[in-house]
């Protein structure tokens, strides 16, 4: 009887404990937490008005009081299973909280934007840089080809930095390394293919000697970089040999997914290493940082293999040449197209510098297994029938200087489009490139070719995880803290909601922007400061930087116009010689130019006579006066702020 009473008490205790400990998004689940970040960025919680619903969704089933008629052994098993379930669902409780160790995470790019990924992870003694990527300019950045991050913060902590760790070879993760190496140099840790792609970039910039900083890594091995240990875990993405990172720090383990999707039928057969995610999750993960790019997409992202089936259909329909364009780093996509080309008896012609370089690198390292006899040079295309040709080229984003755009404008040296050609664009427009892609499509259709783009749903699939894949990673890792990364603010906010649904305490999530520095310890996570971030403008033709004031001037010239005023003044008598020359561009219509010129001449000459400045021997004083005078006139009449460039010549 005493045993029965004890079991019933244990049952009631288990029930009450379960009720007390049920995950609640608004309760601090961190024992002994101090200085905890209880809110999202800027002190705001998600305003979705569904707090009660979230509590219910996140709470594990609470068992009713066990009836006294239940046998003792069964009661014991129920109570023990409840304990085991609780322990299984919160492995982060194993993290050692008896430590003052802390780490700081600072994204310098990739948050609030698509691309440009670069971040810094620091302990008290060491720091590592995670990826060094570039991004694309918007339409206001005239003459700018790429954007690279501002490296000011790296200069500030350069003595702490022990190395750069790279997750994969996409441009938005490696495209700025050469520019960093012109200022700072650190060991680069990455898999062989990624380092080979980085090596190509260093060669282009005359930095071949810096390959001595390469450190080739093997997956599932742990590398010590300062007091930080890093393991590369295989990830599936839209590029060969992508990786996620398991980062062991004195404060605890951090998992960084980098870009990923969970493809169960990848082209190379190597699935995502979910076993390692589960392994670290079981041991207890302090913080998960996860790719947010597709956080609005429900369900699962399709496998890369579905694109191959679409290629089968398109190659069957094609009667003439097939011209396929995609991202030059999407080797699995390119490989599938080339395999179909070989299967249909077509010779493969590679056009575009980045495409040629990436395919050659992947063939050299064994990631593409297609014999040399299947490839031809661009000048050899005319020697074969049209139905024997597959052209793989760059330009899927409508880049003006890319090969496909030059074909569309009939400016390519070797490929002249024909009505019998089939052009396959196997990519989606990067945000900001929609207008360029639309322009390319119009040019291609005007040339008479058959264009295959979005009418085939599986002509392109994303390389990023959708919601169900994001949930799987969160459930495998079961982290204490969660930082959604990689994406615009709306992407990371949506990913945070997904994490809350999967049991992560809302107070253990922070939405970050570039420059935000977050401190993480076993007891708390909080934003501590903001560091300087920004973008530098690069002309990719010369690999030189374009300074911000130049880009700003170009934008002003494009939107506001320019007014040139040239006046000659006799130094002896101070009189204006002849008629001032007035030239306006981008401000008024050509038919109104004579009236405008006459108005400005009258305005300037009368003002000089009234002020007597024309008698001054100081040309700069006169120029400043004319500039201010004309600026006020133009603003009042035209509501515009053009460049006004007066030139006074005293003879």
- Which pair of structure tokens corresponds to residue 411? 């400016």
Question: Do 570 and 478 share a structural domain?
Answer: no
At residue 14 the predicted structure's pLDDT band, cuts being 50, 70 and 90, is very low
pLDDT at 133: 95
Nearest to 536 by CA among 525, 544, 528, 545: 545
Domain boundary among 424, 452, 480: 452
CATH number at residue 352: 3.40.50.10710
Within this chain, do residues 422 and 475 fall inside the same structural domain, yes or no? no
* Rounded average pLDDT over 558-581: 85
Does an H or E element contain 74, and which? helix 72-89
DSSP-derived pairing of the beta strands 228-235 and 222-225: antiparallel
CA–chain centroid gap for 191, Å, is 20
Lowest mean pLDDT among 31-40, 148-157, 299-308, 461-470: 31-40
Task: Quote the pTM value.
Answer: 0.82
Is residue 593 in a domain?
Answer: yes
- Output the DSSP codes for 507-573: GGB----TTEEEEE-SS-EEEEEE----EEEEETTTTEEE-HHHHHHHHHHHHH-EEEEEEEE-TTT
Domain co-membership, 580 together with 620: yes
For residue 228, the 8-state DSSP code is E
Q: Report d(CA 269, CA 259) in Å as an integer.
A: 18
Domain boundary among 506, 539, 572: 539
Determine which of 33-42, 400-409, 535-544 has the lowest per-residue pLDDT on average: 33-42
Say yes or no: 502 and 440 in one domain: no
Same domain, residue pair 140 and 202: yes
Please say whether the beta carbons of 558 and 637 come within 8 A.
no
Q: 385: Cβ–Cβ under 8 A, 6 or more apart, which residues?
A: none
User: Would 263 be classed as within a structural domain?
Assistant: yes
| Residues whose CB is less than 8 angstroms from the CB of residue 522 and which lie 6 or more positions away in sequence, other chains included | 95, 96, 97, 99, 101, 251, 252, 286, 480
Predicted local confidence at residue 574, as pLDDT? 73
Instruction: Report the pLDDT value the prediction gives residue 359, as an integer from 0 to 100.
Output: 95
Residue 48 belongs to a domain: no
Distance between CA atoms of residues 74 and 76, nearest Å? 5
- Strands, E assignment, 287-363: 287-291, 322-325, 347-351
Residues 431 and 361 in one domain: yes
Question: 228 and 124: one domain?
Answer: yes
CA neighbours within 13 Å on the CB side: how many for 143? Answer: 15
Q: Is the pLDDT of residue 286 over 60?
A: yes
pLDDT above 90 coverage of the chain, percent: 66
* Residue 507 belongs to a domain: yes
Residues 6+ apart with CB under 8 A from 176: 116, 118, 132, 133, 134, 148, 149
Residues 117 and 260 in one domain: yes
Q: Are residues 270 and 121 in the same domain?
A: yes
Lowest mean pLDDT, pick from 292-301, 477-486, 623-632:
623-632
Of 471, 505, 539, the residue at which a domain comes to its end is 539
In this structure, are residues 290 and 110 in contact, taking their beta carbons and an 8 Å threshold?
no
Phi-psi category of 170—alpha, beta or left, where left has phi over 0 and alpha has psi -120 to 50? beta
- Answer whether residue 319 is part of any domain: yes
Mean pLDDT (the chain, rounded): 87
Percent of the chain with pLDDT over 70: 89
Q: Are 133 and 171 in contact (CB under 8 A)?
A: yes
Q: Quick one: pLDDT at residue 64?
A: 57
pLDDT for the residue numbered 578: 85
Lowest mean pLDDT among 167-171, 388-392, 524-528, 569-573: 569-573
Residue 312 has pLDDT above 70, yes or no: yes
pLDDT over threshold 70, residue 17: no
Region 537-546: mean pLDDT is 76
State whether 342 and 407 are in the same domain. Answer: yes
pLDDT at site 40: 47
pLDDT at residue 23, rounded to an integer: 41
Would residue 345 count as lying in a domain?
yes
Q: What is the pLDDT of residue 294?
A: 96
Report the pLDDT value the prediction gives residue 546, as an integer from 0 to 100.
78
- Specify the pLDDT at position 615: 67
Q: Are residues 401 and 318 in the same domain?
A: yes
According to the model, what pLDDT value does residue 614 have? 61
In a domain, 555, yes or no: no
Check if the beta carbon of residue 414 is closer than 8 Å to that of residue 378: yes
Between residues 334 and 592, the one the model is more confident about? 334
Instruction: State residue 545's pLDDT score.
Output: 79
Q: Which domain holds residue 334?
A: 305-452
CATH number, domain with residue 581: 3.10.20.580
User: How large is the C-alpha radius of gyration of the chain?
Assistant: 31
389 and 292 belong to one structural domain: no
Could you tell me the CATH number of the domain that includes residue 493? Answer: 3.60.15.10
Residue 62 lies in a domain: no
Does residue 214 contact residue 200 with C-beta atoms inside 8 Å? no
- Which whole number is the average pLDDT over 593-622? 82
Domain count, the chain: 3
Q: What is residue 137's predicted lDDT score, i.e. its pLDDT?
A: 79
- The model's pLDDT over 119-133, given as tens digits with 9 standing for 90+, comes to 999 999 999 999 999
pLDDT higher than 90, residue 53 = no
Dist CA 174 CA 197 (whole Å): 9
């Amino acid at each position: 009887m005493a045993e029965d009473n004890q079991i019933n008490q244990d049952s009631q205790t288990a029930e009450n404990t379960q009720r007390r400990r049920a995950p609640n998004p608004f309760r601090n689940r961190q024992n002994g937490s101090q200085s905890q970040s209880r809110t999202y960025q800027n002190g705001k919680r998600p305003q979705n008005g569904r707090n009660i619903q979230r509590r219910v969704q996140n709470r594990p089933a609470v068992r009713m009081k066990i009836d006294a008629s239940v046998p003792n052994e069964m009661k014991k098993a129920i109570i023990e299973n409840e304990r085991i379930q609780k322990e299984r669902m919160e492995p982060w409780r194993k993290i050692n909280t008896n430590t003052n160790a802390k780490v700081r995470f600072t994204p310098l790019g990739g948050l609030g934007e698509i691309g440009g990924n670069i971040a810094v992870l620091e302990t008290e003694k060491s720091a590592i840089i995670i990826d060094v990527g570039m991004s694309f300019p918007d339409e206001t950045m005239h003459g700018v080809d790429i954007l690279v991050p501002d490296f000011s913060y790296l200069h500030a902590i350069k003595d702490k930095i022990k190395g750069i760790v790279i997750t994969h070879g996409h441009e938005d993760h490696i495209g700025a390394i050469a520019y960093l190496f012109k200022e700072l140099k650190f060991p680069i840790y990455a898999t062989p293919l990624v380092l080979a792609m980085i090596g190509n970039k260093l060669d282009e910039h005359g930095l071949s000697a810096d390959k001595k900083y390469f450190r080739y890594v093997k997956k599932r091995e742990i590398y010590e970089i300062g007091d930080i240990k890093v393991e590369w875990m295989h990830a599936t993405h839209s590029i060969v040999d992508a990786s996620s990172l398991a980062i062991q720090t004195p404060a605890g383990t951090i998992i960084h997914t980098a870009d990923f999707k969970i493809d169960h039928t990848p082209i190379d057969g190597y699935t995502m290493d979910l076993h390692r995610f589960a392994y670290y999750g079981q041991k207890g993960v302090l913080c998960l940082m996860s790719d947010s790019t597709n956080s609005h997409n429900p369900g699962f992202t399709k496998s890369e293999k579905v694109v191959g089936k679409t290629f089968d259909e398109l190659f069957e329909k094609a009667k003439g040449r097939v011209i396929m364009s995609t991202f030059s780093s999407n080797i699995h996509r390119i490989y599938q197209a080339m395999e179909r080309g070989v299967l249909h008896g077509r010779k493969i012609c590679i056009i575009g510098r980045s495409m040629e370089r990436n395919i050659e690198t992947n063939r050299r390292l064994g990631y593409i297994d297609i014999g040399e006899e299947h490839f031809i040079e661009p000048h050899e295309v005319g020697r074969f029938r049209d139905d024997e040709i597959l052209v793989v080229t760059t330009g899927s984003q409508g880049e003006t200087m890319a090969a496909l755009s030059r074909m569309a404008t009939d400016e390519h040296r070797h490929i002249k489009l024909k009505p019998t050609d089939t052009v396959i664009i196997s990519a989606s427009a990067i945000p900001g490139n929609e207008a360029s892609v639309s322009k390319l499509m119009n040019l291609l259709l005007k040339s008479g070719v058959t264009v295959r783009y979005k009418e085939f749903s599986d002509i392109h699939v994303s390389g990023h995880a959708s919601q169900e894949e994001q949930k799987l990673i969160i459930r495998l890792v079961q982290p204490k803290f969660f930082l959604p990364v990689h994406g615009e603010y709306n992407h990371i906010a949506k990913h945070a909601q997904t994490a809350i649904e999967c049991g992560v305490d809302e107070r253990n999530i922070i939405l970050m922007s570039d420059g935000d520095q977050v401190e993480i310890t076993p007891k708390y996570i909080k934003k501590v400061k903001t560091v300087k971030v920004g973008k530098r403008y690069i002309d990719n033709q010369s690999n030189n930087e374009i300074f911000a004031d130049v880009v700003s001037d170009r934008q002003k010239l494009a939107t506001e116009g320019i007014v040139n005023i040239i006046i000659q003044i006799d130094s002896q008598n101070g009189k204006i010689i002849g008629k001032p020359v007035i030239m306006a561009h981008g401000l008024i219509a050509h038919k109104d130019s004579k009236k405008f010129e006459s108005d400005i001449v009258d305005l300037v000459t009368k003002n000089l006579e009234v002020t007597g400045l024309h008698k001054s021997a100081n040309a700069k004083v006169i120029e400043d006066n004319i500039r201010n005078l004309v600026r006020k006139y133009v603003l009042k009449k035209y509501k515009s702020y053009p460049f006004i460039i007066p030139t006074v010549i005293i003879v």
